[in-house]
Amino acid sequence: MKFTKLSLVAALAISSAFAGGDIAPVEPVVEAAPVVSESTITGNVKLWYGTNDAGLNSLFSKNGAFGDAYADVKYSREVMENVTLNVGMAYITTLGLEKDLVSATWINHGAVNPVADVAWLNEANVVIGLPSISSFVKVGRQELDTPFFYSEKWSIATNTFDAAVAGTTALPDTTLIAAWVGRGNGAAGAGTGNVNLTNANFGGGHVGFSPAGSNPAYAFAAINKSITDTALQAWFYKIPGVADAYWLQADTKVSGIDFGAQYAATKLLGNAAVAGGITNKTSAYAFKLGYSSDALSAYVAYSDRDNTAGIDISNIATGHTVNSQSKLYTESYWNYGYVGAQDAQSIALGASYDLGMAKLGAQYTNVNGIVGGTRDLSEFALTASTKVGPINADLAYVNSKNGLASSNNTVLVMLTMPFSL
């Protein structure tokens, strides 16, 4: 994934740790809120297919294959000066692929009918710009991108949150952010997982979290760019009665060489800290060294999670346990829930090259030491991205060995057509 300049209202994020091993340091720029004086309509149409040969499955057979078709549309308009309204709908369907091509879907369509067509409101927010004090407020359903709460982009649909976010750039070279997060539709270990925002369980997904589903979350951040080509981040999270979390990160670039360092920690509170013999604190650190030019980029990264039971160093909004994606530099391309797990030592190597007509990538991830030994990981991924007319085509081949299981292969074909009206 690539870093982009973030508008002040675009997201709750300036983080340089994304899955896929992107090695470019974040460019710590916060732009003024865009003025949308006329109505704009944008969206995406997607057809995604995957196949895996684990167990008795064969590649490209119905068993082991998964697929979905998806569409979203977003309407934006400045309803008055410095006040913008955003509303978006999403729709997921199997197109009948389950009849002869796939046996599973990319996301959960619902427990009653797992292949039913489903539509939901994935965005509904108002953005209030306060240019006189270089600030903004964004309230409503929205995507978030922070180290411990974020919208995962690996799935065909993206999990969103009901939240209120405020930010300011009033201080020199510094962005301050505060957020209240009420709920989200990210299911544990499944990214989007549940299209309805009924799974927002910041108090759930871990033994001893009680009462489940009743705890909001708070996030606070300071991002500083006083040093040339350097971004410093500090994040603090609080889930009252459940847990506190911290994330510190520094990224810099000198003559094409990228260096990054991360430290993350969590602390369980109240009943959560004593249930089931859980230790109340966990932590991890990571380092990354890379090189980037116009066409070529490469990196190596290492991370180490301590040997204590508790919250994994991954997305708390999607369960922070098995299959939950992590923002650590070492995160794998396809298999999540490993690099942030208890006692994991991880190394990741990657490179990409832009041919112009297509961008090619390769990534290797190895994770050892996870408690129990059956969740260690070796993963090698090859990717290719190109554009065919109006369609963005992403292809991936992944070879994985998970714990004691035999190695298996995954092939992904992801076709996306963005549009604007």
pLDDT digits (tens, 9 = 90+) for 252-266: 999 889 999 999 999
When computed from its CA atoms, the radius of gyration of the chain, rounded to whole angstroms, is 21
Task: Identify residue 32 by its one-letter amino acid code.
Answer: A
Going by pLDDT thresholds of 50, 70 and 90, the confidence category of residue 138 is very high
Going by pLDDT thresholds of 50, 70 and 90, the confidence category of residue 1 is very low
Tell me how crowded residue 380 is: count the other CB atoms within 10 A of its CB.
Answer: 18
Residue 57 has pLDDT above 70, yes or no: yes
Average pLDDT, the chain: 83
The DSSP result for 339-392, as a single string, is TTSTT-EEEEEEEEEE-SSEEEEEEEEEEE--TTSTT-EEEEEEEEEEEETTEE
At 52 the pLDDT is: 95
pLDDT digits (tens, 9 = 90+) for 263-272: 999 998 866 5
Going by pLDDT thresholds of 50, 70 and 90, the confidence category of residue 171 is very high
Widest pairwise Cα distance in the chain = 63
- Evaluate whether 249 touches 32 at the Cβ level (below 8 Å): no
What average pLDDT does range 368-375 have in this prediction? 77
Say which range, 96-100, 141-145, 173-177, 269-273, has the weakest mean pLDDT.
Answer: 269-273
- 3-class DSSP assignment, residue 299: strand
What average pLDDT does range 34-61 have in this prediction? 88
What's the rounded Cα separation, in Å, for the pair 387 and 123?
27
Residue 27 has pLDDT above 70, yes or no: no
Say which range, 92-101, 158-167, 264-273, 292-301, has the weakest mean pLDDT.
Answer: 264-273
Buried b (16+ CB within 10 A) or exposed e, 293-329: eeeebbbbbbbbbbebbbbbbbbbbbbbbebbbbbbb
Whether residue 34 is preceded by a cis peptide bond, meaning omega within 30 degrees of 0, is no
Residue 181 has pLDDT above 80, yes or no: yes
What's the rounded Cα separation, in Å, for the pair 201 and 316?
9
Q: Which of 185-199, 270-284, 326-340 has the highest mean pLDDT?
A: 326-340
Say which DSSP state 406 is in.
P
Going by pLDDT thresholds of 50, 70 and 90, the confidence category of residue 279 is low
What average pLDDT does range 172-196 have in this prediction? 75
- Evaluate whether 347 touches 365 at the Cβ level (below 8 Å): yes
What average pLDDT does range 58-64 have in this prediction? 94
pTM for the model: 0.87
At 310 the pLDDT is: 84
